[in-house]
Structure 1
Amino acid sequence: MSDGATEPRVLATDAAIDLIREIRRDHPDILFHQSGGCCDGSSPMCYPADDYIVGDNDVKLGEIDGVPVYISSSQYEVWKHTQLIIDVVPGRGGMFSLDNGREKRFLTRSRLFGGGEVCLVQPRG
């Protein structure tokens, strides 16, 4: 999504790419959904693609290493001025997330867009 005038809405660190590739050895087709809180805080949740139904109100932020990343439209409204950076830290993943039990988990970091950057994202449709 970056063409010099735009910045990608979501990125991943090298550590996140490594964990994605590890998970894909067991589950080749996965997706992320940025959690909105509750039991698993605001962690990016990683699911088998056929176990998660992307809702009509979910927004696709982009892809990291070929894996789609979604967020609810209500959360998107709050975070639309930020770039999400998926990273990895030691710990346990979300209860239903595929990073659980690997002694490392995904974590979302963010940075505000500024300086005239323009970010475009198309809702799933």
Structure 2
Amino acid sequence: MEEKQYLRVVMAVIWNASMDEILICQRPETKNFGGLWEFPGGKVESGETDIETLDRELDEEVGILVHDFTHRMDFKHDYEDKIIEFVVYDVYSFEGEPYGRENQAIRWISAADLTSAEFPPADYILIDEIKNGIMPD
């Protein structure tokens, strides 16, 4: 039996200035869960800290420079072919106007409306935390 791949991924819950909407991005059709919505972020590269990943990924994906953030939670999700450890940060202020730097659709959505968009299975763990009003640690 082949051992599952293990990945560490940083995800960001990016809040707008009035703290009533969150930025989500649409996954490219060519990737796993293509066409579904997700929170921006990505894999932690070798030798990179979680914060370095947060900064790099948010610049690469949505063109912003993070200023104020806090750690929200960590959780693992076991997919058929891999185990992903998610490290989640709430981002409260940033420089730049977010846009889809990888030509992906992005949109602002209220916490209450998150379930109106379709996400990969693991993201619903975070969505439940947000919808229940649970603030970061």
TM-score (norm. length: structure 2): 0.28
TM-score (norm. length: structure 1): 0.30
